[in-house]
Structure 1
Amino acid sequence: MRVYPPLFAGILLLTALPPMLGQLQTATLTGSVTDASGGVVADATVTAEHIATHQPFTAKTTGSGDYALPSLPVGDYRITVEAKGFEKEVRPNVALNVGQTLSIDFQMAVGATTQTVEVNAQAPLVDTSDATTGQVVNSREVEALPLNQRDFLALTTLTAGVLPPRGMVQGGNLNNGGFVVHGLMRTANIVWLNGAMIVQGNGATTFLPNVDAIQEFQVKTGLYGADYGVMPGGQLIAVTKSGTNMLHGEGFEYFRNDAMDARNFFSQTKPGLKRNDFGGTFGGPIYIPKVVNGKDKAWFFVSYEKLIQHAFNPTQGVVPTDAQKNGVFSTTIIDPTNGQPFLNNSIPANRINPVAQQLLQFWPAPNTAGPVNYTSPNSSADTFTNQVLTRIDYQSSPTDRWWGQFVRDSTPNLLASPFNVFTALSPLSSWVGSIGNVKTFNGQYVNDASLNYFRRGYFPANAPGASCNFPASLNIPQLLTHGVIDKCGVPDVSIVGYSGIGDASVVGAVVIGNWWAADTFSFNKSSHFLRMGVDYRQNWYYLDENARSSFTFAARYSKNAFADFLLGDPTTTTLGGQILDANLHQNSMYGWIQDDWKVNSRLTVNLGLRYEYRFPWSDKRGLSSNFDLATQTLFPPLQANGRYQPGAPLVEYRNLEGFLPRIGMAYRLTNNTVLRTGFGINAGELIAGAPQNLGANPRPGSLNLVFNSGVTAPTISLSNPFPSALATTATPTIRGIPLSLPLTTVQEWGFSVEHQMGHNVLLDVSYDGSHTVHEYEAVQVNDAAPGPGSMASRRPYPNYQSIVFYEGDGEGWFDALEAKIEKRPGNEGLSLLGAFTWSKALATTDEIVGGTPNEVTSRSRNISVQANKGLSSSNIPLRFVFSVDYQLPFGAGKMFATTGVASKILAGWSLLTITTLQSGPWFSVFLPGDPLAAGSTSSQWPNRVCNPNLPTSQRTVQHWFDTNCFATPPQYTYGNAGRSTVEGPGIIDLDLALHRMFALAERAQVEFRAEAFNSINHPNFTLPGNQFIPGTNTSFGVVTGALDPRQIQLGLKILF
C-alpha cells in the first residue's frame, strides 16, 4: 500500500512538537494535593529527590490540584510538597519501578511552611493508575533468586500468563527461545534495554545482560497504553543500574562442574562440564581533578562478565546396527527395481551404493540398548562469552539530564553434532549504543529524546579440521565445482528415523540491526495527564549464506529409509550454493497519544490511540525478489547486471490497519481494592526471517538447486545425485509474500480485581482474553493435488516446484483466569510471589521461523485454514510458579540465636526458592515423507481412530500414548488426526539457593552462594516421538529425552 499523504502528514506534525519522552526505562509519579477538607491545593510545589544521586525533579499542581512527574529514573525517592499557608509534607522513602505510574495523594495541614510533617506511610500496593497487567521484578529478585545460566529472562515466567517456550523450564536459558505471553507466539514480544530494542527474528534476545548490572525489569502482558507497540505481545522493559554519589561495586565468580551435577534420566554417565562465570560492576560519581566533580551531577557505571564453559554433552540418537549397515533388516525390504521383497530381508552386497558405502563410516556402532541406541561419549561444545556494559548519566542543570549506554557482547561458540567428527563454528556478536536527553520546561512540560542503535552479527563457518579431501573421494564432480562450502567436509545426509550426518550445513554471515529514535512530550492539564510521541525505526538485514549439498531419504522406495540410503535412492537432493544473499531495509514510524484522565478521586480512565506506519521492504543491492502468483514471475524487474531493481518495494503493509485504539479504567472501590478493565488493539509485523528468505529466490548466478526423485520409482541416485537430464526441471524453492500484506492484529480485553491485605500483601485475580487475526503463516501454495501421475500436471503452477508464501490468514484465540499473590518484605524478612494461570490457547498456525519442537512450520494449500485449527503449540492449560525470599531469623536483632557462637554460625543466611508446577503441552502426530505424492515439504497427519491419551497412571517413557490410535489414511487422502491432539509430559521443578553474608569491612561484604536447579532431581521428560511410520519407527510414542537433572552452582561475591 502506498504512502497516504494525509496520514503521513499527521505523523510529521507530531514530530514538530518539542522532543518527547520515552517511557522505556523510567517511571512516572502522579497524584493530587488537597487540604484537610478535601479542597484542591493549586500551585503547590512537588519535588522528588533521587536519594542515591540527590537529583531533584519538580512539578507544580494544576488548578485541579493534580501533579505529574514523568520520566523519573528508577529508584528510591524523597517526596516533598510545599504550598503557601500549609505545612511542608515529606514522604521519605518512595520506590519507583521501571515502566510504573505510581499515584500518591497528599493531604496538607494548614500551618507555617517552616514546619515539616514527615509521613512514613508506605505507598499503596494497589494500582489505581491504569488497567495494564504485568509484573515488576526488582533488583533483589534479579540478583538473588536462583537463576540457571544467570538468565534474567527466566524470571519473566514468574508473571501470570507468561510461559517458557516448549521444551524449557523455569530457570532455563530463555534468551535462546524467548518466552510466551498470553498464548501469542514468542515472536510477538519486544525486549527493551534502556530504550534499545534487543530482540532478533525469533523473539529471543541476542545476548544476556549481566544480571548484577540490571536494576529491575517489568513485563507488561496486556492492556498497556498507546506508548507501547511494534509487536502485539508482551513488552519487557529492563533498565540497568546507574552510578550514584558513592563509589560502589562488586566482583563475582560462579562455578559449576559435572561432579556436583546429577545424571540425566536417560544417560549412563554424566556429561563432562566445567563452567566459570566471573566479572563485576563498578559505579560512582565522575571525578576528574580540577575539571569535574561528579557528585550530584555526573555518574558512571560499568559492568564486565566473562563466561568460559567446556561442556561434553552426550547427545542421543538412532544409528544403524552392524546388520543394517550390511543390508540385513528385520522387516520386509522392497527391491525398487521389481517391487518384490528382497530374499531374507537382505540387500545383496553388490547392490549397496558405493557412495553410501563410503558414508557408512561416519555412523558409530550402537552403544545403548533400546530404540534410541546411541549415546555420544564426548560431544564437546565450548562457549566463551565476553560482555562489557557501560552507562553514563549527567545532570547539566536541574531541568536538563543526559544519559548514554554502550554494550558489547561476543560469543565465539564451537558447536558439536552427536558424532565427534562433525563440528561447526557459530560466532555471535552484539552491539548496543544509546544516547538520550530529558528536559523540563516551566516546571510541568517534560520531553525525552533518545537515539538507539542495535547490531547482531552471526558468522557460521566450518570448524578447523573439516576434511577437504573427502568430497573428492565420493566422485561427485558437482561437490567440487558449485559454491564454496562443499569443497571441505561431509555432505548433509538426512534419513527419516535415524540421526543424520554432515559438517556445518551453512557458512557465511547474517547481520541484523536497527536504529530507533524515540521522542515523547508529556504534561499535566487539569485532571488529564497527557503524553504524545513519535518513534522512528530503521531495520536492516545483511545476509550472505552458503548451504552444503544434501541428500534426503524417506522410505519411499524400499519401505525403509535406511535401506533407501544403502540402495542410493534419495527422495530429494539439493545442490549446495548461495542460499541467502540480501541487503534488506525497512523503515517504520509510530505516532501515539495517551490521556490518563483522573475523573475523580476514585476513577481513572486511560484513553489512547496509536498509529503505526510501515514502509515497504526493499533490497538496496537488488539481491532479493518477490514472487507474483498472478503472473508467475519474480519482481522487481531484473537488470542487465543480473540483479533486480535496487530499492524497489518488495512487500507493502496495509497501513490503514495501523490505527490502534486503547481504553482502560481503574476504579478504587475501597482504599484497598481496585477494579480494572480495558480493551485494546495491538498490531504486529512479519518477523525478519520471512523477508530474509526473499534473498534465497533465484537469479542469474544463483546456485542452489533441488532435485526430486520419482514418485514410485527412483530417478536419481547417490552416484548421480544431480543428473543433467533433470537440470531443467530441478527448480529451487520460491519464496513469496503478498505485495499487500495485512498487519497481524490482536484484540485483547480483560477484567481484574486487585486487593491489598495488610500493609504488604497484594492479591490480584483477573480474566484475560484475546483474538488474533491475520496471523502470519507459511503456506506451500504449489503443492500438487493428491493423486497418481505426473506431479507437475497436478501443481497449480506447473513450471515451478515448491513455492512457499508467507500469508496473513492465520487466527488465534486465548482465554485465561490468572491469579497473583505478592508479599513485599517486612520486618520478618520474608517476601514471596505466586502466580497461577489456567488458560486455553487455540491457533491455526505455528511459528514460521525457528519453529516449535514436534510441530510443522508450514501448511499445505490442500488443507484449509480452519481445518488446521486446534490447540496452539504454546497451550499449557495449568501453570503455578511460586518464589520465596526468606532471610532466616538468626542473628542479632532476629528472633533466634541473637548472640554468641550460635549467632556467628547462623546469622546472615537467606533461603530463596522457585517452585514450578506445570501441565504438559499438547503436540501433533505426523505422517512423514510425502504419502500424498503432492511434492510437499509440509508433513501430513495420519488418521486418528481413538483417543490416544492414556490415563496418567498408564503413561510411561516407553509408551506415553496409545500408538494404536493412529492409522495410515487411504492412499492420496489426508488424515484426520488434527493439530495438537496428544498431551505431553508436565513439569515439576524446585530451584533453591542458600546465601550467607559476611562483613568484611565497614563498607564491604562477602556473600557465599550455593544454588541447586531442579534440586529434587525430578525427571522432566521431553516430548515423545511423534513420527508415525508403521512398522519401522520404534521411537513413536517413546520418550527419549529429559530436561536437565539436578545441577549445583557455587558462587562468591564481594560487595562494597
Structure 2
Amino acid sequence: MHYKLRDLLSPGLVLALLLGVGQLSAQSTGNIRGTVSDSTGAAIPDASVTVTNTQTAQTRSTQTTNSGVFVFPNLPIGRYELQVSKPGFSSQTREGTELLTGQTIGLDITLAVGSQTQSFTVEADTQQIQTTTSTVAQSIDEKQMQDLPLNGRNPLQLTTLTPGARLTNTGTESGQQDNQGLTVNGLRATQNNFQLDGALYVDRFFDSVPILPSPDALQEFTIQAANYSAAYAGAGALVQLSSRSGTNKIHGSAFEFFRNTVLDANNYFPVKSPTGAIILPPYKLNQFGGTVGGPIRRDKTFFFFSAEDLQQRSSPNPATLTLPTAAQVAGDFSSLCTSGTFSSTTGICTKGVQIFNPATGKPYPGNIITTPMDALSKAVYNQYLAATPGVLNPNSPTTNTFTSLTNANIDSTQYLIRIDHALTDNNHLSGRYFYNQDNFQRAFTAPLGFYAANLFRNQSLTLSDTHIFSPTLTATGYVTGGRFARTQIPEAPGLKTLQSLGQNVPLGTFNVPIFPGVRDNISGYVDVFSGGALTQDSTSFEFKGEVVKLVGANTFTLGGALERTRIDATDFSYVPGDNTFNGQRTQAPSGTILPAGVTSGNAYADFYTGYESSFFQDNGRKFYLREWRPSLFFQDDWKLTHDLTLNIGLRWDPWIPPIDKNNTLVGFLPGFKSTIAPGAPVGLQFNGDPGSHPAVFKNNYLDLAPRFGFAYNVHGAGKTVVRGAFGIFYGFPEGLLYQRTDAAQPVNLYLNLVNPPQWDNVYANFAGGSPFPRGSVSRSQFATYNFITPFSGGVLNPAAKVAYTEDYNLTVEQQLPWNFALSIAYVGNHALHVMGSRQFNPAVYAPGATVANEQSRRLYPGLGAVELADSYEYANYNSLQVNVTRRVTHNLTLLTNLVYSKVFDNNSSATEGNSGPPNPFNLASAYGPADFDQKIRFNASINYFLPKLQVNKFAGAVVNGWQANSIIFVQTGMPFTILSGTDRSLSGIGNDYADAVPGVSPARPSGASRLTKYFNPAAFVQAATGTFGDTSRNFLRGPGYTDVDASLFKDVFPERRIHGQFRAEAFNLFNHTNLNNPGATVSSTGSFGHITGANSPRVFQFGAKVLF
C-alpha cells in the first residue's frame, strides 16, 4: 500500500512546529511532582532540585517556583535519586524513588535550616499512595510482569489484576491469536486505548490490541481505568506498556518454557475412544528466546534487544458435532416426540417436538417423512456426514453427538529493538521497533478436515524526543507508525463444493482466490464450513506532541495529535453462498395451537426436506476506509494548597468518520429518494445525494471533553488521601462495523434470501435466475443501475451521534502499617450513543402472518433483512472497589482487590452481523445485565521470596534461593438469556426470548443434578406466536469461576554475575472444575438446561532462564 508524501509528513511536521517539538526520535514516561517547604510549612522558592536515574546516570534539574512547586514531566521510567538544596538550608537526598509508567509521584520535601553543606539522606517509601492525581489506576511492575505465572506468557492476562477489569470475547473479534478483549469498568473492549512506549498501539480494524511483546521485553505497564488526563483519548481504559531499555551495565537473559501433557489433568468432560478409554488431547509447546541490553556510549546511548519464538502443536479444544440418527436419515423423526404418543384428532405429538410439512403446513403423522430425502441434501450427507467423524460423546445430552480432536498449530516469532540517546543534557531521544509474525491453523469444521492457515504480521515503530528548554518548560514529541495485517487461506483437502454436488448457484464473483469453499449450517447439528479467503490490512500513523509549562502552583500542559488510518479488507467467505437450516421451515404454521410442553420444527428435518431458512451470497466484500483523527488538549494540574491538588482539563476530539474510496458506504433516511441512483429503493442515500456526506455519518467538530478531579492529602502527611473526578470521554466505532456495508448495492451485491425455495435452486423465483457472478459497479453506472430487491446488506444512519462516556469516581486511600495501602473507591460511568448494528426492518405481525409472507409485512418493503449501524446503545456501570497492595517489603509483594459491581446495557456487541435487540419496536426491552457483567470478583497476586537461611554453603545451595508466586481469581457466574430458538415473533429477526410458565419456579428442582438441570427447564416455553417472549435478557447466571495459578522458582548461584533459574508453573493448580453456562435454548430440547462443557483443567509448564 502506498501513501502520498503529503498524507504522511505534512500534518506531522506542522503539528511538531506548532508545538515547538524539535528533533523527533519511544519513551515510556512518568512524572515527579512536589513541593519544597521549611519546617513551618512555608514554601521555599528557587530551591535547586535534581533527579538522577541510577541505572543510566542521566540527570535533569529544575528550580522551585514562588509557590515552592517543582515538576519533572515525561521522565523515563526507572529508579531515581532526588537532591534538593537551597542556601541557608541543609541539603536533602532522597533515594530509591521508583517511577512507573504513567505514574505521577508526589513528593513533599521539608528542608531544615542550616548550612547547605549539611546533607541528609532519606530512603523513599516503599509503598506510596497517590497524592497528586484523581485518576483510578493500577501498575504492574517488572517483577510481577516476569515472575507471576502466565499461561502462554501473554502479558495481557495481567491486566485482569486491575479492579473492574476482565477478559472477554463478548463484542470483540480481536483477530489476533490468544488475545481476548479487555473490558474495564463495564465498558466495551473496543473502547480502550493501548499505548506502547507512549505511542498508539491499536489495530483500528478491530480497535483491539495486537500481539504484545514478551514479558521479558516489557518493563511494566499501567492501566488508567477511569478519569485520566485530558492528554489521552479513548472512552475506555488507557493501557500504557513500556518496553525495557538499556542501562550502563550489560544485562540480559536466555530462556525456554516447555509444556506437554505428561502431568496435565483431563477435562471434566473428557474425550473418549470408541472403547471408552479416556484420551488426553495432545499438547506440546516450546517458547524460547533471549534479551540483551546495555550501553553503546556510557551515560549517553543505550540499547535493548529481545527475541522470542513460540512453537505449539496441540488439540486444546475438542470439536463436537451432532449427526442425525440412522432413523432420521431415513425420514423417521418419531424420537423427537418424547411422549411417544400423538393425538388421534390432530396428529400432533403430545409432548416433545412435532415437525410439519414445509410445503403443506400439515403435521407429519408420527413425525415420519415418507418422501425421500432431498437430492442435494442426500449428496451433501453422503459426502460429508455419512462417515462418522470422531468418537461418540457419552457426556452429551443429545444422541449421536461425536467428538474429535482439532489441530491448533501455532508458529510465532517476535523481536523488539530499542535505542535511547541523550543528545544533550536537555535533549533525550528514543526509538523502538517491534515486529511479530504469527502463523496459526484455525479450525472450522475440524472433524471434516476443514482448517484455514492464518498469517498475522504486526509492525510498530515509534520515535520520540523530549526537549528541556528551561527548568520550567519541557516539550515532547512522538511519531509512530503501525501496520497490522492478516491473511487467511482455507485448507480443505478433498473439498467438494455445493455447486459440484448439485446446487444451482453460480459463484458470486468471477475471480475467487484459492477456492470457493462451502457453507451449510444445520443449527444444533453440524456447520459444514470450510472457511474463506480474506485479507485485513490496517495501517495507522500518529503525530503528537505536548508542551509542559510550570507557572507558580500550576503545571500547564498543551498538546495535540493527528492520526491517519487506512484499512483495506477483502472477504470471499460468502461468494459460494451461505445456507442455514434452523428448524423454521418445519415449524407449525401461524395460528396452530400446540399442546403444553410441545414445540415444533427441527433443523435436520428442514435439511432432509431441502427447505432452508435463509441463504445469503455476495460477490466478495471489499472496503477501503480512510480516516483522519485530529485532537487537541489542555491540562492544568493546580496545587491549590499544600494539601489539595486540582486536575482540570479540556480535550477536543472531533469525529471525522472514515470514507470509503470506492463509495461503498450507504445511508438510510426514511422517505428519502436518491437522485444519484434513481432505481434505489426508497430510503437509501448515496454519496452525492442532496444532504449526503461521503462518510454517511456527519463530521462533528463540537466534541469537547471536560475533565475535573481533585486529590486531597488529608493532614498533609501523605497517609490519607481523598480523590474524586468527573470526566467525559469520546469513543469512535471500529473499522469492523463498516464491513457489511461494503457489500451493498450498487457497488457490490449482497443478497439475503429469507425462506427461499428449495436449496438446490434458491434463485428459482428470480426473473432471469441468479444475478451472480458479477463484478463491482463504478460510480458512473449508478444512474442506470437496476437494483435487485429486496435490498440486503448493511446501511448507516446519517443522524447517528458520537458515543461518549461520563466517568465518575470517589476514592479514599490510606497508608497502613508494614507498607500496606488500602483503597476504597466508588467507580461508575454512563455510556451514551454507543455505536452498534441492529435489524431495523422487521416484519410486522398480524393475523394470518406466516413465514412465507414475511417480506410483504416488512416496514420498508423494498428492503429485506438489513443491518443498520446506529448509535442506539447505552450502558450504566456502578461499583465498589476495594484494593489492598504491598510493594516489595520483607520479600513480599501483594496486590489484591475485591469488586462488587453491576453493568447494564441494551446490547453488548458492536460487531457486524449482530442483529441487536430481538424486539426492534422497543429497544429498551433488551436493557439488562451486560453479557460480561460480573457481580463479585476477587483477585490477588503474590510474589514471595522465601527467607534466606543461615546454613553452610552446601545446604544453602539447596534450601535458599526459592521464590513462590501466585495469581488467584474467584468470581460469580456470567449471565445468560433463555431463548425460544426460533422466530416466534415472525419478525424475520429471531433471537426471541422465551415465555415463563406461570407459577413454575426456574430454580433447579430439589435433588436434580446441576449438570442435567442447572435450572428448571419446565419453567420456560417458546414465546407465543407473534410475540417476542415475556422473559428478560440475561436474568439467569451460570456457574462461578475459581482459579489458582502458581509458580515455584529456584535461583542457582544468584550471587554470581551470570546465574540461572528453574521454574515450575501450574495453571488451575487445584484442578477446580469451572463449568460453562448451560444450554439455554428451548427448542434445543436435548441440551436445554444441560451443562456440557468446562474450562481448562490443571496444566503444568516448566522453564529455565540464564540471567546476567
**Structures share fold, TM-score greater than 0.5:** yes
1:350-406 deviation line (CA, Å, top 9, x unaligned): 344344333344235361223255443331121111111111111100000111111
Aligned partner letter, 1:784: A
**2: distance between equivalents of 1:889 and 1:850?**
55
In structure 1, the residue matched to 2:501 is: 474
Q: 1:455 aligns with which of 465, 473, 483?
A: 483
Contact residue 267 and residue 375 of structure 1 kept, 8 A: no
Contact residue 663 and residue 694 of structure 2 kept, 8 A: no
1:804-838 deviation line (CA, Å, top 9, x unaligned): 111112221111111000011213x1111111000
Q: How does 1:905-920 map to 2 (within 5 A)?
A: 905-920=958-973
Structure 1, 11-20 or 415-424: larger mean CA deviation: 11-20
Contact residue 665 and residue 796 of structure 2 kept, 8 A: no
1:646-678 deviation line (CA, Å, top 9, x unaligned): 996213356355111111111111321111111
**1: distance between equivalents of 2:626 and 2:463?**
23
Aligned partner letter, 1:72: L
Deviation at 1:188, TM superposition (A): 1.6
1:538-563 deviation line (CA, Å, top 9, x unaligned): 12210121123221111123321101
Q: 1:665 aligns with which of 699, 710, 713?
A: 710
Does residue 791 (structure 1) correspond to residue 817 (structure 2)? The answer is no
Does residue 868 (structure 1) correspond to residue 913 (structure 2)? The answer is no
1:585-637 deviation line (CA, Å, top 9, x unaligned): 11111111111111111111111111111223212243444444442659799
Does residue 932 (structure 1) correspond to residue 985 (structure 2)? The answer is yes
Contact residue 919 and residue 1028 of structure 2 kept, 8 A: no
1:766-804 deviation line (CA, Å, top 9, x unaligned): 111222211223221111112316333322221111221
Contact residue 468 and residue 489 of structure 1 kept, 8 A: no
**2: distance between equivalents of 1:406 and 1:52?**
22
In structure 1, the residue matched to 2:774 is: none
In structure 1, the residue matched to 2:905 is: 843
Deviation at 1:707, TM superposition (A): 2.1
Does residue 1014 (structure 1) correspond to residue 1068 (structure 2)? The answer is yes
Q: CA RMSD in A?
A: 2.9
Q: How does 1:594-743 map to 2 (within 5 A)?
A: 594-631=635-672, 633=674, 649-653=694-698, 655=700, 658-670=703-715, 671=717, 672-700=719-747, 702-709=748-755, 715-718=757-760, 720=762, 724-725=766-767, 731=790, 733-743=792-802
**2: distance between equivalents of 1:283 and 1:184?**
38
In structure 1, the residue matched to 2:420 is: 393
Contact residue 164 and residue 174 of structure 1 kept, 8 A: no
1:748-768 deviation line (CA, Å, top 9, x unaligned): 211111000125110000111
In structure 1, the residue matched to 2:332 is: 328
1:140 aligns to what SS in structure 2? Answer: helix
How many residue pairs align between the two structures?
Answer: 1011
In structure 2, the residue matched to 1:1038 is: 1090
Does residue 367 (structure 1) correspond to residue 410 (structure 2)? The answer is no
Deviation at 1:195, TM superposition (A): 2.4
**1: distance between equivalents of 2:678 and 2:15?**
36
Describe the shift of the 1:977–1:222 C-alpha distance in structure 2 as closer, same or farther (beyond 3 A): same
2:740 aligns to what SS in structure 1? Answer: helix
Describe the shift of the 1:475–1:500 C-alpha distance in structure 2 as closer, same or farther (beyond 3 A): same
In structure 2, the residue matched to 1:819 is: 882
Deviation at 1:158, TM superposition (A): 0.9
Contact residue 421 and residue 430 of structure 2 kept, 8 A: yes
Aligned partner letter, 1:1002: R
Structure 1, 77-86 or 533-542: larger mean CA deviation: 77-86
Aligned partner letter, 1:973: T
Contact residue 385 and residue 411 of structure 1 kept, 8 A: yes
In structure 2, the residue matched to 1:574 is: 616
1:53 aligns to what SS in structure 2? Answer: coil
Does residue 125 (structure 1) correspond to residue 128 (structure 2)? The answer is yes
**2: distance between equivalents of 1:161 and 1:23?**
29
Task: In structure 2, list runs of 5 or more residues that go unmatched.
Answer: 1-10, 272-278, 337-353, 587-600, 681-685, 772-787
Deviation at 1:493, TM superposition (A): 0.9
1:605 aligns to what SS in structure 2? Answer: strand
Structure 1, 995-1004 or 678-687: larger mean CA deviation: 995-1004
Contact residue 24 and residue 192 of structure 1 kept, 8 A: no
In structure 1, the residue matched to 2:1031 is: 977
Does residue 779 (structure 1) correspond to residue 838 (structure 2)? The answer is yes
Contact residue 519 and residue 535 of structure 1 kept, 8 A: yes
In structure 2, the residue matched to 1:289 is: none
1:695-720 deviation line (CA, Å, top 9, x unaligned): 122225x354322226xxxx333355
In structure 2, the residue matched to 1:4 is: none
Contact residue 568 and residue 719 of structure 1 kept, 8 A: no
1:278-301 deviation line (CA, Å, top 9, x unaligned): 111111112xxxxxxx11111111
Aligned partner letter, 2:392: N
Aligned partner letter, 2:415: V
2:1075 aligns to what SS in structure 1? Answer: coil
**1: distance between equivalents of 2:14 and 2:1007?**
64
Q: 2:166 aligns with which of 152, 163, 166?
A: 163
Q: 2:470 aligns with which of 442, 451, 454?
A: 442
Structure 1, 651-660 or 1012-1021: larger mean CA deviation: 651-660
In structure 2, the residue matched to 1:50 is: 53
Aligned partner letter, 1:1028: V
**1: distance between equivalents of 2:1006 and 2:1065?**
32
Deviation at 1:986, TM superposition (A): 0.9
Structure 1, 77-86 or 252-261: larger mean CA deviation: 77-86
Does residue 84 (structure 1) correspond to residue 129 (structure 2)? The answer is no
Contact residue 185 and residue 874 of structure 1 kept, 8 A: no
TM-score for the superposition, normalised by structure 2 = 0.87
In structure 1, the residue matched to 2:1014 is: 960
Structure 1, 840-849 or 730-739: larger mean CA deviation: 730-739
2:156 aligns to what SS in structure 1? Answer: helix
Contact residue 191 and residue 197 of structure 1 kept, 8 A: yes
Contact residue 221 and residue 239 of structure 2 kept, 8 A: yes
Contact residue 206 and residue 430 of structure 1 kept, 8 A: yes
Describe the shift of the 1:955–1:344 C-alpha distance in structure 2 as closer, same or farther (beyond 3 A): closer
In structure 1, the residue matched to 2:784 is: none
Q: How does 1:374-385 map to 2 (within 5 A)?
A: 374-385=401-412
In structure 1, the residue matched to 2:150 is: 147
Does residue 222 (structure 1) correspond to residue 222 (structure 2)? The answer is no
1:920 aligns to what SS in structure 2? Answer: coil
In structure 2, the residue matched to 1:881 is: 939
Aligned partner letter, 1:1016: F
Q: 1:426 aligns with which of 433, 449, 454?
A: 454
In structure 1, the residue matched to 2:281 is: 271
**2: distance between equivalents of 1:374 and 1:489?**
29
**2: distance between equivalents of 1:264 and 1:244?**
46
Deviation at 1:341, TM superposition (A): 4.1
**2: distance between equivalents of 1:526 and 1:123?**
30
**1: distance between equivalents of 2:704 and 2:876?**
21
In structure 2, the residue matched to 1:517 is: 543
Question: Percent identity of the aligned residues?
Answer: 27
Deviation at 1:223, TM superposition (A): 1.8
Does residue 527 (structure 1) correspond to residue 553 (structure 2)? The answer is yes
**2: distance between equivalents of 1:953 and 1:73?**
62
Aligned partner letter, 1:410: Q
Deviation at 1:487, TM superposition (A): 8.2
Does residue 944 (structure 1) correspond to residue 1002 (structure 2)? The answer is no
Does residue 761 (structure 1) correspond to residue 820 (structure 2)? The answer is yes
Contact residue 508 and residue 617 of structure 2 kept, 8 A: no
Describe the shift of the 1:651–1:51 C-alpha distance in structure 2 as closer, same or farther (beyond 3 A): farther
Describe the shift of the 1:655–1:123 C-alpha distance in structure 2 as closer, same or farther (beyond 3 A): farther
Describe the shift of the 1:194–1:698 C-alpha distance in structure 2 as closer, same or farther (beyond 3 A): same
Contact residue 839 and residue 915 of structure 2 kept, 8 A: no
1:1034 aligns to what SS in structure 2? Answer: coil
Contact residue 638 and residue 645 of structure 1 kept, 8 A: no
Task: In structure 1, list runs of 5 or more residues that go unmatched.
Answer: 1-8, 287-293, 893-897
Q: 1:993 aligns with which of 1047, 1056, 1059?
A: 1047
1:40-66 deviation line (CA, Å, top 9, x unaligned): 222122111111111111111111111
**2: distance between equivalents of 1:125 and 1:1014?**
33
Describe the shift of the 1:337–1:588 C-alpha distance in structure 2 as closer, same or farther (beyond 3 A): closer
Contact residue 627 and residue 633 of structure 1 kept, 8 A: no
1:1018 aligns to what SS in structure 2? Answer: coil
1:467-507 deviation line (CA, Å, top 9, x unaligned): 46555531335345745559846521111211211211x31
Q: 1:211 aligns with which of 185, 210, 215?
A: 215
Contact residue 557 and residue 635 of structure 2 kept, 8 A: yes
Describe the shift of the 1:638–1:428 C-alpha distance in structure 2 as closer, same or farther (beyond 3 A): farther
**2: distance between equivalents of 1:569 and 1:634?**
39
